[in-house]
Amino acid sequence: MKKMILLFSHELTQDQKSDAKENLGVVEFIKLPIDLQNLWSNIPPELEELDNYLEPIKDFIKKNIQREDFALVQGDFGATCRISSFVKSIGATPIYATTRRDVEEREINGKIVKTSVFEHIRFRRF
């Protein structure tokens, strides 16, 4: 029974859920508890290093992941690198979502407005 821990700041789309189930064999999605989600989504840019800051998230991962599981890791670049390496070190698989972006420009009241639409394509392993 494969699980996917979600370490990112968005909700999974239906396409992402379907892809994870069909192509990765995921049957359970695990969100971070609200306090850890706030930690992950609001990493202070002033911090010189992230190791201590990320310890509670690493603890959560250790308690909730097994070797055949996945961790969807997206966010602050440095935190993403550190957590991806950590997930690999405990034998699980860190992944990220790839998307296609379609941009539409239109004029509204004399101003150009850009709208970006992101389409999930696949998950890719780190």
- Work out the pLDDT band at 56, boundaries 50, 70, 90: very high
Expressed as residue numbers, the domain containing 111 is 2-125
- Work out the pLDDT band at 36, boundaries 50, 70, 90: very high
Whether pTM exceeds 0.85 = yes
Helix (H) or strand (E) holding 76: none
The helix, strand and coil proportions of the chain, stated in percent and rounded to the nearest 5, come to 35, 35, 25
Q: What is the pLDDT of residue 80?
A: 98
Q: What is the pLDDT of residue 117?
A: 87
Number of domains forming the structure of the chain = 1
Q: How far apart are alpha carbons 38 and 20 in whole angstroms?
A: 24
pLDDT at 75 over 90: yes
CA separation (Å) from 13 to 25, 36, 113? 17, 21, 25
Percentage of the chain modeled with pLDDT above 90? 93
- Work out the pLDDT band at 90, boundaries 50, 70, 90: very high
Q: What is the pLDDT of residue 116?
A: 86
Q: What is the mean pLDDT of residues 55-84?
A: 97
Q: What is the pLDDT of residue 64?
A: 98
